[in-house]
Structure 1
């Protein structure tokens, strides 16, 4: 496929950048942002109390596994329990967490990880190099690879060498210039101790496991031997048993919970300034794509995929489904990398009709599977179905529960939706666009694309690597299986006595940084 793309197209603007605000139509959203600073004015923190958080999207398949989670409630849990070697902060800036340093040799065929000293796991064991090696081998187990396995695929798992208690040498099978970016994964690469059992979860996070009922709630207690700044809260309770957004909102109004993570903006607009509920707005760049399986008809035809993208009125989806609280997505993810702002997709119904006619798919009928897995997803599906009619496409929206969506048919739906947090481009590709990716929702498997990806991850020069990323993004834009209408912000609602929060870089509730939160 990539041979059809002009490789000589040079893209500019390759430096990392912050996620910028959208258009002038975001008046309501701007008001929300403006109210945030005053609502979270800092006072003297107080210790104690239990923070009760509502978050939707869980079910019986919920997990506490540090290296294998799917849903938003899973993410909310693991970020309190575990920590990665490194993390990504605002604007794509990386910072060390459990790692004190990470250094590559001249050709990036070997990395040396030095750990922070005096870090304890919840069971009292000291963090050592053997634990990092154990985590890497656990994730890349050939018999049962976990979510982070594709990102660690270049690693020589049999050649890991423990230099001393705090130093691990990691050889690579091929040059791997982005290893220090790949391990900056709070969600799926939390470091666990040797012998880790996810049924009895042990991490290094500021909170330790107390109890867990899948699809209902989980409780975590402050870890008093935490290596960093101690948490103020005694405990955190995450509740994912609410049947609807409205039910969670009413519980917050009634004082049954203290926070509602990732609240629909339509509910946030009901909050009165100066009242008992405060608003936290974060420009995190979450994306909620439509996913087309490129290995099955009709989406195995690139003309059909392009037509499906051309029918989208992005501003309408942003205005209605996201209440204006988003920026156009233009079918390219990872706004930090390459030159995504160059890509612009205008709605073109006539061209969509021509492409469908060329493909022999006039009067196309497809089913679109959706679920309430993230803000605005179901509404976006309904709007898309109406928009597609203008090109003669009939889209039958089939709504299922989140539990069914992420069940046995997950990754098998021909046409569905998904949600992703903002990640660097190449680690994101490893998660969703390679044949061995754990979440290859589109079943993308283009040899030329894979070859170019291999060149990019081996390229040490950041400017040259950024140019290769831009070439990969051209393929995403012109031939990929994702329709990305928008990059979304996140709204959280919290009770007036919840303090210490600041906007998150990637996730809800200040990146689920419970350590900073305190109750007045």
Structure 2
């Protein structure tokens, strides 16, 4: 990455201030470039306007979708529940910082084991009930316990007790210290609901009120007149359409049937950028594409098999061909350059057919054929990525059969079930959240079913470690363990590319999740 590109990314992530960016760029003789960066974005300059009907065409919808926030797995429901209907205690801003949402403040004990959250007063649910501590306790408990099927279960497992201290204060006691606990409370599953309500009733505190919902097809919401954020929720109505096919989404945007689309087809990005009526938004964050191997299933229970497949993929080719350069190579762990403790010191794994052959021979399984399950539902280009993987693996004497699965139901019928499949991950704001969600032993979304004693021990210790140097060394070791012993191939980190009509305006984009941290419907507005 060039020096200027690196500066751009640091600024976009909020790692350096505007002044620091300009000073460093000027030192490089790049003053002209800085002016274009700051002044070429008129869509961000205008003050927010109220009104209008936002129409979004999104991938990631399924007929099995539910309004229960514990179960949402992909874009359609994440944008609906987290970006339109609900709120968590904490929000992540465009600088990747935790800021108050339903909680107005919080404080921790010196050992970070006890956290006290004071709730915002006067917040109303869509049914008119006033938010209080009982609602928060009930909502978080929905994700706890042995019977919970929530994807956030591992995030809240360290909570040993939740109690109220008056109607507007909630006290969390953890099994061990966690310096990142406010980030945990921002998770998009941990949306607050009224106590004793049906989790799939769609009643929350958010900017919009649900009027119509057909799973995997459409959702329609209207503005919440009592929303507690006066500077958010600018649209009168929002219609969300599930459009799985990227070409159909693109055509819908070009013909004015929708205002916003996610996950652009990279082949068409330059044409979209060239349109006077459209704009492309790019977020360089934590999104990564993987090929997950189940470590509890032969032959992937053999680490030499896993290593052979890691060396058998041409990462550079995938970034160039599948991402069209809108991304960077991955190093077989989920912590990207946008993360605080990214292990840049780890040697980058590269395509090496000879090493792949060595590990396959060491595994002693002969000429096995590996079935790689893919679908465009996993991510745009997943099927083509599988074909390229097959071709590069063949040069190492490894036979890969690419199995194209139906888009509908992919996340219910293929992911977590097939021994080897293509997976999309949006990433998480912190290392602990990412590792706890997808790599902790027994986690519902541990899609490699990996169980590593040393890793599990470090996971608990690192979240409680308050010494910055020690904490970083722990997370670096965890990244190395996943890279060298885990069951995931992480060939690439992808920029988030969405597109919209020029009428759409927005502020600085958050990078923690797609479409402004899943908050586009709440944060954006029509400029004209």
Alignment TM-score, normalising by the size of structure 2: 0.87
Aligned in 2, Cα 1:87/1:16: closer, same or farther, shift over 3 Å? farther
Query: 2: distance between equivalents of 1:123 and 1:59?
Result: 27
Q: How is 1:32-51 mapped onto 2 (pairs within 5 angstroms)?
A: 37-38=40-41, 40-51=43-54
404, 411, 417: which one pairs with 1:406? 411
* Shift, 1:357, TM fit: 0.8
2:374 is the counterpart of 1:348: no
1:311, 1:391 within 8 Å by CA — same for their partners in 2?
A: yes
Query: 2: distance between equivalents of 1:181 and 1:440?
Result: 20
509, 518, 525: which one pairs with 1:518? 525
Query: 2: distance between equivalents of 1:428 and 1:193?
Result: 28
1:292, 1:416 within 8 Å by CA — same for their partners in 2?
A: yes
Aligned in 2, Cα 1:400/1:355: closer, same or farther, shift over 3 Å? same
Task: Could you tell me which runs of 5 or more consecutive residues in structure 1 were left unpaired when the two chains were aligned.
Answer: 1-14, 21-29
2:442, 2:449 within 8 Å by CA — same for their partners in 1?
A: no
Q: Deviations over 1:475-506 (max 9, x none)?
A: 01111111111111111111222223543312
Q: How is 1:381-400 mapped onto 2 (pairs within 5 angstroms)?
A: 381-400=386-405
Q: Deviations over 1:174-209 (max 9, x none)?
A: 444432232221x21111121232332111211121
Which sits farther off after the overlay, 160-169 or 502-511? 502-511
Query: 2: distance between equivalents of 1:173 and 1:138?
Result: 19
> Residue 252 of structure 2 aligns with which residue?
251
2:100 is the counterpart of 1:93: no
Q: Deviations over 1:461-480 (max 9, x none)?
A: 34322221111111011111
2:44, 2:507 within 8 Å by CA — same for their partners in 1?
A: no
* Shift, 1:140, TM fit: 0.5
Query: 2: distance between equivalents of 1:17 and 1:330?
Result: 23
RMSD between superposed Cα atoms in Å: 2.4
2:415, 2:423 within 8 Å by CA — same for their partners in 1?
A: no
> Residue 151 of structure 2 aligns with which residue?
147
Q: Deviations over 1:241-268 (max 9, x none)?
A: x352111111111111111112122122
Aligned in 2, Cα 1:91/1:422: closer, same or farther, shift over 3 Å? farther
2:86, 2:205 within 8 Å by CA — same for their partners in 1?
A: yes
Aligned in 2, Cα 1:345/1:90: closer, same or farther, shift over 3 Å? farther
> Residue 178 of structure 1 aligns with which residue?
180
Query: 1: distance between equivalents of 2:252 and 2:342?
Result: 43
Q: Deviations over 1:365-419 (max 9, x none)?
A: 1100011122332221121111111111111111112323222443121110111
* Shift, 1:107, TM fit: 2.3
Query: 1: distance between equivalents of 2:439 and 2:273?
Result: 43
Query: 2: distance between equivalents of 1:207 and 1:417?
Result: 34
> Residue 111 of structure 1 aligns with which residue?
115
Which sits farther off after the overlay, 227-236 or 99-108? 99-108
* Shift, 1:135, TM fit: 1.1
> Residue 6 of structure 2 aligns with which residue?
none
> Residue 222 of structure 1 aligns with which residue?
223
* Shift, 1:220, TM fit: 1.4
Aligned in 2, Cα 1:446/1:274: closer, same or farther, shift over 3 Å? closer
> Residue 131 of structure 2 aligns with which residue?
127
Query: 2: distance between equivalents of 1:267 and 1:325?
Result: 13
Q: How is 1:99-498 mapped onto 2 (pairs within 5 angstroms)?
A: 99-156=103-160, 159-185=161-187, 187-228=188-229, 229-240=231-242, 242-271=243-272, 273-335=274-336, 336-343=339-346, 344-373=348-377, 374-423=379-428, 424-498=430-504
Query: 2: distance between equivalents of 1:17 and 1:484?
Result: 24
Which sits farther off after the overlay, 454-463 or 396-405? 454-463
* Shift, 1:142, TM fit: 2.8
Aligned in 2, Cα 1:478/1:256: closer, same or farther, shift over 3 Å? same
2:81 is the counterpart of 1:75: no
Query: 2: distance between equivalents of 1:101 and 1:272?
Result: 41
Query: 2: distance between equivalents of 1:417 and 1:106?
Result: 42
Which sits farther off after the overlay, 210-219 or 170-179? 170-179
Aligned in 2, Cα 1:18/1:477: closer, same or farther, shift over 3 Å? farther
> Residue 26 of structure 1 aligns with which residue?
none
> Residue 24 of structure 1 aligns with which residue?
none
1:50, 1:235 within 8 Å by CA — same for their partners in 2?
A: yes
Q: Deviations over 1:433-464 (max 9, x none)?
A: 12321111100012222122122223233432
2:288, 2:334 within 8 Å by CA — same for their partners in 1?
A: yes
- Structure 1 residue ranges (4+ consecutive) displaced by more than 6 angstroms after TM superposition: 33-36
Q: Deviations over 1:79-113 (max 9, x none)?
A: 21111112334454222222222222222332211
2:307, 2:484 within 8 Å by CA — same for their partners in 1?
A: yes
Q: Give the secondary-structure state (helix, strand or coil) at the position aligned to 1:402.
A: coil
